[in-house]
Every structure is written in C-alpha cells, then in structure tokens.
Chain A
Amino acid sequence: MATTSRTRKRPESQQATGARRTRPKGRSGTDADTGAELLGHYRQMLLVRRFEERTAQAYTEAKIGGYCHLNLGEEATVVGLMAAVTERDYLFTNYRDHGYALVRGMDPGRVMAELYGRSDGVSRGWGGSMHLFDTEVRQLGGYGIVGGQLPLAAGAGLAISYRGGDEVVLCQMGDGTTNIGAFHESLNLAALWDLPVVFVVVNNQLGMGTTVEMASAEPELSKRAGAYRMESARVDGNDVLAVREAATKAVERARTEQKPYLLETVSGRLRGHSVVDPATYRDPAEVEEVRSQDPVTALHDHLVGTEVADADTLAELDAEIGGIVKAAVEFAENSPSPDPTSLFDHTYATPVPNDSRRLPADPLFPLDPTAGA
C-alpha cells in the first residue's frame, strides 16, 4: 500500500481458503462439510440482505444522502466471490459495494457510519456509499465512475507482478460496464502483460434501466474474453457454491500462472438501480421471475430441505444478524460528524506550500482595513 497500512487479522469466519475443493453438486450437495460451509455462506448472505434492507430504511429516513445502490439479489454472488480470495488479495469494485465490504471483513458499524457520513466511517466520511475503502482488508475502493476501477485494478496487478508477488486482484463490475472503453483497454493490458487480475462481471441483467440486450451487441458477456485470448466462464450468480468454485478456479489461475480471467455471474436485481428508483420500467413478469430466484430464500429452503439446519435455527441466525445490523446503526448514529476544521486534511499526501485553504467567503488575501481609505 502506498500509505502505511495497519495490519489486522480478519475474523476466522471470514478467512477464505484458497484450497481446491471438489464441486458439490450445486445446492444438492449434502456432505457435512458442504453443509457447514453453506451455513457459513448463508450467514454472510443474510448479513448483506439485512444490512441492505436497513440501509434502504435509513435512506428513506434521510439518515443517508447521495446515491445509494444495494446488493439485494446479488448476495450469493458477493459471498461466493469473497470466499474465493484470501486476505492478502486486493479488491476493487463499483459503487454497489456494501455487501463486498461486509463480507470482506469491514466492520458493519464503520460501513454504516460511512453511509451516514460520520467520522468513524471506513472512508472517514469522505466517500459515502459509493466509495468504501479500507486498506486493512485490502478493499481498494468502490468507484462511482462506471469502469473507473478497471484500469486501477490492472495497475494493482502490475505492481504485484513487478514485485514478483503472489497476490491476486479481483475487480468487480456490472454488466453495463463491459461497453465502456476502459473495459477493453484494461482487459487488453492485463492479458498483454500477464497480470494476476480476475475481472468479474456481475450481470444483474440491467444497467440502470438498460437491459444487456439493449446495450451489448454480444450479450453473452464472458465471450468478450476471446478478444484478449483470456480464459473465461459464465456461472449462475444465484448459486453461491457455483460462484465460489468458478471464482476459486479463476483466482488460482491468476495466482499460479499470472494470467487474467474474465468471470461472468448471472443473477438479478431485486430493487431499483438505487434506493430512489421505483423501477417502473420493469416488466412485472420479469420482476416476479427474479423474485422467484431470490438466492437468500433459495438457500434458506435448501438448508432446511437437506436438514443442514431447521427453520428455527435459521430464524435464530436471522435474529442474531438483526442484532449485528442494529448495533451497526447505533454505532453510526453515535459516531460524530467530521469536524469542518478537518476539511483540508487530505488534499495532498505530501505537504506543499501555497495549497489553497480558503472557505467560500474567505478572501484570497487578507483584507486591509486601511486600503482605499
């Protein structure tokens, strides 16, 4: 990291294994090992679900400002991806970043504090919902400019490769992002220079209101990899194990062979593009279809159906997660707002003479009361 990063162990529950595993048969895998893993994944998916629902509520209460995009419907994808990387790997995402932050191991209270614009927020109240950043968990930013994170991720891969490291960069983006120039430039660079970057297209089938078919001449987005001789895969983004397995393969390949990879996960968006979007443009049948594939409900029913856990146990888990989210909100509520005197604290990392510190009504030069008299 360019700045000194404090090191902190992530909780045991969030330590992902880079180990190879045999593929459980989708949701029908029943061995005890998979059952316990699935339960762990369910817990994290539920954390994302309840956190996002609470976030939407806080937004309507005007506790949160600006743009606010939720991972509702993408929980299996988020958790599956995060299970495939180790704590030494780096993550870049777009603005739809709350779930990644939580599963990656940022403190839920500090994430919520960032949404609230408070001084304990992960980005000290400077970034907000779209710009969660924490050097400790190596999540190097949510980015609000579509495609902006892609060249950065390639560059992080370059730094790793330059130093002969074995970390991997995971770069998340949306389906709509595959049409911006930075997508092409970054994938080409990563392939040309053998950079350890896994590009993940989270295909939730919508830009804002724009469908994949409306925007992409080749709607099977993973096929874009062919232009860069890059390996790729397309998986069911509602299946946490399928995502985990595909991402693990991609990450391992990047780590051991220093080759980039393009992974596409296909899921759906349960709400509007952002919390203020009523999504009236959507076909009710399509929305119903997405709802019927809700990954959290599906995994709940699977866990009960395969007797990994009974409904009561899962309800208790839900209550426990509810407590975590409640505590996060309380933490955010109690965190102080940033002090306006800190406004000029981080314009520059290296202090420089003559940097402007004037407030809107300040004069450029001290007013001279005798002048003009």
Chain B
Amino acid sequence: MAHISYRQALHDTLRSELQRDENVLLMGEEIGRFEGSYKITAGMLDEFGPKRVRDTPIAEEGFTGAAVGAAMLGLRPVVEIMTINFSLLALDQIMNHAAKIYGMFGGQCSVPMVIRTPGGGGQQLAATHSQNVELFYAFTPGLKVVAPSSPADAKALLLASIRDDDPVLFLENLALYNTKGEVPDTDEPGEIGRAAVTRTGSDITLVGYSRMAHVALQVAERLAADEGIEAEVVDLRSLRPLDRQTVVDSVKKTNCAVVLEDDWLTYGIGAELAASISDGAFDWLDAPVRRVAMAEVPLPYAKPLESAALPSADDVVTVIHQTLDAVGRRSDRVGAR
C-alpha cells in the first residue's frame, strides 16, 4: 500500500502500462512537451519517446478518431482530452464511431481504446469550461464509462480500461487530482460495471460518482459525528454499464435515498437513478427519491454566482434532513441521542 494522490495513481498506472504493453500509446494535446495540462503525463515523453507519447494538434475529432482507427488495427491508444468540455468536438468519433464499430459491423472488429478526460466545475472557468457531459457517453451503448472517486479505484479502473477490448471513457475530475488515499502496490484491474458500497449505514442511501461520491462520504462522516445519522454511500464507479442492483439493494435496507450529481438535473444521471430505484424498490421506499444537482444555468464566472449554482456538502445535508424529516426518522434519531 502507498498513500498517494489520485494524480499520482493515474501517472504511475499509465507508466506501468506503457512498460508492460508495446501496443499502448498515449495521445493528446500538450501531453508530451508540456507534460499534460494537469501533469498526469509528467516525464513520460522523456521516458518513452514521441512515438509512444504523442503530442497532437488541437484537433479533438481528428486525433480521437485516429485513436479509434489505430485501435481497429490492434493498438491500445489512451487518449487524453484536456477537459470533458472539449470532448464535444470529438462527439462524432466517440458516439458514431468508437461506440458503433464493434456492433455495427457484426462483431468483426473491436476498438480497444481509452479516453481519459477530467470533468469538474468550481474552478471559476465559466460556462464552456465547467460542464459535466459524461451523461452523453453514459447514454451510449457500445461505450463503457467509468468514473473513479478514489486513488485506488483510479488505478484499478485505469488498468481495467486499458486492458479492456472496448472503448472506455475514463472520467477524472479536476477537484480530485490532489486528493489522497491508500493504493495497493499490485496491478490488480478493477471490474468495470460494478458499484461499491463505500460506507455502510441504515438510515439513508446516498448515491454518487466521481467528485460527488467523495462529497457523499464526507457528508456521511459529518452526519454520523454530528447527528448520529448513519448514511450508506454507494459509489457508482461505472456509469455504463450501470450497477442498479447495488443501489437498489442499499435502498431496500435504508428505505430512502438521495442522489448526488455534479451536473444539471433535468434528464440527468440522477433521473435515471431515481427511476431505477422506483422500479426496483418501490415498495421499500418511505419517501420520494431526491436529487441534489447543479442549478440549470450556464455556469457563471463570479465566485458567489458559481458557488450558488454548484451542489455543496451543505446542500446535500439539507436534502438529507428534509428526506429524513419526511419519513419522521430524524426526530427519532435526534431524540434517541
């Protein structure tokens, strides 16, 4: 075990995969000479050379599509898209090509590639640079989408993604890069398609992924310490496939749920979770499933406006309180203390 940052876990994993498999190469803007906009690929150009660590022109559609084509011939490109906002420029190659080639041609040719890209608002980057559009990819059969929230999962899921024969969108988050955690030394790939219960509890289920899974854990600890509320936290880790069963099993235990998401509410991933919970645990639910999500505006630059729009830990606490009050459970709990 090593206690390292999310960034370090990604860096070390990319490095060991480049060493392990000649077919793995990195592609993206500013990943070589500049060492990556967020320095995930620091030192790699020097170590592996420009053939394996390939700086690209600013041409998201072109180089993402080139990675798809290279993967069709058996290479395992790991593409870095500077932030998920810019992946919109590559949407055609991701949704219409990477996601379709295996199925549309009758399973003749797979596309073993990874697209790494960070999401995340809250950095005062204004409307075009603060979006979380992983929903588009999570929506698309043929893609796999993973969104680790801890350094250990970042390592395990990156290993799994690179070794997987399908196109995987690997969602990172600007706010998580400096967070630290225990990471195993062994190269054991994680399992795409499985959620994890990262904290057990019997009062309420919190569901999140990426940064919001992290926030969920923090909130749960705070509520346990301050109010004796025991929240169970489900970290989705994989957005496609979606592990509905783990979510539903948790709700059957707690009888209520709050879903956390870092993007707009309407039509969002939280909506999918709420619908899934109502399908799978309708008779167990004591309260409607509530969603904590971003305000539906293009994210503003000015800090007070930005903060007002983004879901905070306090927002999550408020909604948990409202939900527990609705089922009359918080007064019990508080009274019992």
A192-B57, A356-B141 as given contacts; A155 in contact with B280, CB under 8 Å: no
Report yes or no: A154 in contact with B243, Cβ–Cβ below 8 A: no
Report yes or no: B69 in contact with A355, Cβ–Cβ below 8 A: no
A354-B193, A354-B242, A372-B283 as given contacts; A156 in contact with B73, CB under 8 Å: yes
Q: What residues of chain B lie closer than 8 Å to A192, measured between beta carbons?
A: 57
A353-B194, A354-B245 as given contacts; A152 in contact with B280, CB under 8 Å: no
Report yes or no: A371 in contact with B282, Cβ–Cβ below 8 A: yes
- Nearest opposing residue in chain B for A90, CB measure: B73
Q: Which of B37-45, B109-117, B121-129 contacts A (4 or more CB under 8 A)?
A: B109-117
0 or 1 for each of B54-94: is its CB under 8 Å from A? (1 = yes): 00110101111111111111110100000000000000110
- Nearest opposing residue in chain B for A365, CB measure: B280
**Is B101 interfacial (CB-CB < 8 Å)?**
yes
A148-B92, A353-B194, A365-B248 as given contacts; A185 in contact with B67, CB under 8 Å: no
Report yes or no: B57 in contact with A188, Cβ–Cβ below 8 A: yes
Report yes or no: A124 in contact with B107, Cβ–Cβ below 8 A: yes
- Nearest opposing residue in chain B for A181, CB measure: B61
Report yes or no: A154 in contact with B69, Cβ–Cβ below 8 A: yes
B80 to chain A, nearest CB (A): 16
**Is A260 interfacial (CB-CB < 8 Å)?**
no
Q: Which of A125-133, A239-247, A317-325 contacts B (4 or more CB under 8 A)?
A: A125-133
Q: What residues of chain B lie closer than 8 Å to A133, measured between beta carbons?
A: 104-106, 108-109
Report yes or no: A158 in contact with B66, Cβ–Cβ below 8 A: yes
Q: How far is the CA of A138 from the CA of B27 in the complex (A)?
A: 25
Q: How far is the CA of A274 from the CA of B58 in the complex (A)?
A: 35
**Is B276 interfacial (CB-CB < 8 Å)?**
yes
**Is B328 interfacial (CB-CB < 8 Å)?**
no
Report yes or no: A1 in contact with B102, Cβ–Cβ below 8 A: no
Q: Which of A279-287, A306-314, A341-349 contacts B (4 or more CB under 8 A)?
A: A341-349
**Complex A-B, nearest 8 residue pairs according to Cβ-Cβ distance, in ascending order:** A151-B65, A155-B69, A185-B62, A124-B106, A346-B107, A155-B66, A349-B110, A159-B73
A159-B74, A350-B166, A364-B276 known, 18 other contacts, Cβ within 8 Å: A2-B73, A121-B106, A126-B107, A131-B104, A133-B105, A134-B108, A148-B97, A159-B72, A185-B57, A189-B59, A347-B142, A349-B110, A352-B192, A352-B241, A353-B194, A355-B193, A365-B244, A368-B283
B contact set with A: CB distance below 8 Å: 25, 51, 56-57, 59, 61-75, 77, 92-93, 96-97, 101-112, 141-142, 144, 164-166, 191-194, 238, 241-245, 248, 276, 279-280, 282-283
The contact sample of 6 A-B pairs, CB cut-off 8 A, is: A2-B109, A155-B66, A156-B73, A348-B142, A349-B107, A354-B193
